[in-house]
Amino acid sequence: MTLASHARRLLIAAAAPLLGLAPAFAQSPPATNTLRIGVIGPLTGGSADFGQVMLHGVQLAADEINAVGGYLGRKIELVQKDDQGDNDIGLKVSQELVKENVMATIGFCNTGVAAKSLDVFQKNHIPLIIPCATGTPLTARYPAKESYIFRNSPRDLIQAPFVVDDLLRRGLTKVALFADTTGYGEAGMNDVIKALAAKNLKPVYVARFPIGVKDLSEDMRAARAAGADVIFAYTVGPENAVIARSRESVGWRVPHVGPWTLSFPNFIKAAGKAADGALMSQTFIAEPSNERRAAFLAAYDKHYKTPHIPVPMAAAQAYDATYLLLYALFNIGTGEINGPAVKTALEHIDRPYYGVVTTYDRPFSPDDKDAITRNMLVMGVVKNGGVTYAYPSDARSSGIIQRKQ
DSSP string covering 232-248: EEES-HHHHHHHHHHHH
Query: Above 90 in pLDDT, residue 32?
Result: no
Query: Are 213 and 107 in the same domain?
Result: no
Query: Are 189 and 308 in the same domain?
Result: no
Nearest C-alpha neighbor of 131 from the set 153, 104, 103, 105: 153
What was the pLDDT predicted at 82? 98
What was the pLDDT predicted at 11? 44
Query: Above 90 in pLDDT, residue 275?
Result: yes
264-289 in b/e form (b: 16+ CB < 10 A) is bbbbbebbeebbeebbbbbbbbbebb
Query: Are 262 and 161 in the same domain?
Result: yes
- DSSP one-letter string for 7-46: HHHHHHHHHHHHHT--HHHHTSPPPSS-EEEEEEE-SSST
Selected residue with higher pLDDT from 72 and 360: 360
What was the pLDDT predicted at 18? 52
Whether 314 maps to a domain, the answer reads yes
Nearest C-alpha neighbor of 262 from the set 242, 290, 248, 289: 242
Whether 405 maps to a domain, the answer reads no
Query: Are 161 and 145 in the same domain?
Result: no
Question: CB neighbours (10 Å) of residue 124?
Answer: 15
Whether 101 maps to a domain, the answer reads yes
Query: Are 179 and 219 in the same domain?
Result: yes
104 is in which domain, residue-wise? 3-154+287-372
Query: Above 60 in pLDDT, residue 139?
Result: yes
Which residues contact residue 254 at a Cβ distance below 8 angstroms, ignoring those fewer than 6 apart? 176, 224, 228, 229, 230, 231, 247
What was the pLDDT predicted at 91? 99
Burial class (CB in 10 A: 0-12, 13-18, 19+), 358: buried
If one counts the domains in the chain, the total is 2
Query: Above 60 in pLDDT, residue 19?
Result: no
Lateral strand order in the sheet of 149-151:
76-82, 35-41, 104-107, 128-130, 149-151
Q: What is residue 71's DSSP assignment?
A: B
Which residues contact residue 56 at a Cβ distance below 8 angstroms, ignoring those fewer than 6 apart? 300, 303, 304, 315, 318
Query: Above 50 in pLDDT, residue 25?
Result: no
What would the mean pLDDT of 9-36 be, rounded to a whole number? 52
What was the pLDDT predicted at 17? 52
Whether 72 maps to a domain, the answer reads yes
Query: Above 70 in pLDDT, residue 8?
Result: no
Whether 404 maps to a domain, the answer reads no
Rounded Cα–Cα distance for residues 266 and 270 (Å): 6
Query: Are 80 and 104 in the same domain?
Result: yes
What was the pLDDT predicted at 14? 44
Q: pLDDT tens digit string along 216-238? A: 999 999 999 999 999 999 999 89
Q: pLDDT tens digit string along 165-181? A: 999 999 999 999 999 99
Whether 51 maps to a domain, the answer reads yes
Query: Are 184 and 137 in the same domain?
Result: no
* Interstrand relation of 378-383 and 386-389 (parallel, antiparallel or unpaired): antiparallel
Is residue 145 very low, low, confident or very high in pLDDT (cuts 50, 70, 90)?
very high
Whether 403 maps to a domain, the answer reads no
Whether 277 maps to a domain, the answer reads yes
Q: pLDDT tens digit string along 242-262? A: 999 999 999 999 999 999 999
Query: Are 233 and 132 in the same domain?
Result: no
Query: Above 70 in pLDDT, residue 7?
Result: no
Query: Are 92 and 51 in the same domain?
Result: yes
Query: Are 199 and 302 in the same domain?
Result: no
What was the pLDDT predicted at 15? 52
Instruction: Give the percent of the chain with pLDDT over 70.
Output: 92
What would the mean pLDDT of 15-34 be, rounded to a whole number? 49
What was the pLDDT predicted at 3? 41
Rounded Cα–Cα distance for residues 232 and 193 (Å): 11
Residue type, 278: A
CB half-sphere exposure, 8, CA atoms < 13 A? 18
Q: pLDDT tens digit string along 330-351? A: 888 777 899 999 999 999 998 9
Rounded Cα–Cα distance for residues 37 and 14 (Å): 22
Query: Are 94 and 220 in the same domain?
Result: no
Question: CB neighbours (10 Å) of residue 169?
Answer: 10
Query: Are 138 and 179 in the same domain?
Result: no
What would the mean pLDDT of 39-62 be, rounded to a whole number? 96
Nearest C-alpha neighbor of 364 from the set 142, 126, 139: 139
Single pTM value for the model = 0.92
Q: pLDDT tens digit string along 88-136? A: 999 999 999 999 999 999 999 999 999 999 999 999 999 999 999 999 9
What was the pLDDT predicted at 336? 85
Nearest C-alpha neighbor of 238 from the set 207, 210, 206: 210
| End-to-end Cα separation, the chain, in angstroms | 38
Using an 8 Å Cβ cutoff, are 397 and 376 in contact? no
| Alpha carbon 274 to chain centroid, angstroms | 25
CATH, residue 39: 3.40.50.2300
Instruction: Give the percent of the chain with pLDDT over 90.
Output: 84
What was the pLDDT predicted at 21? 44
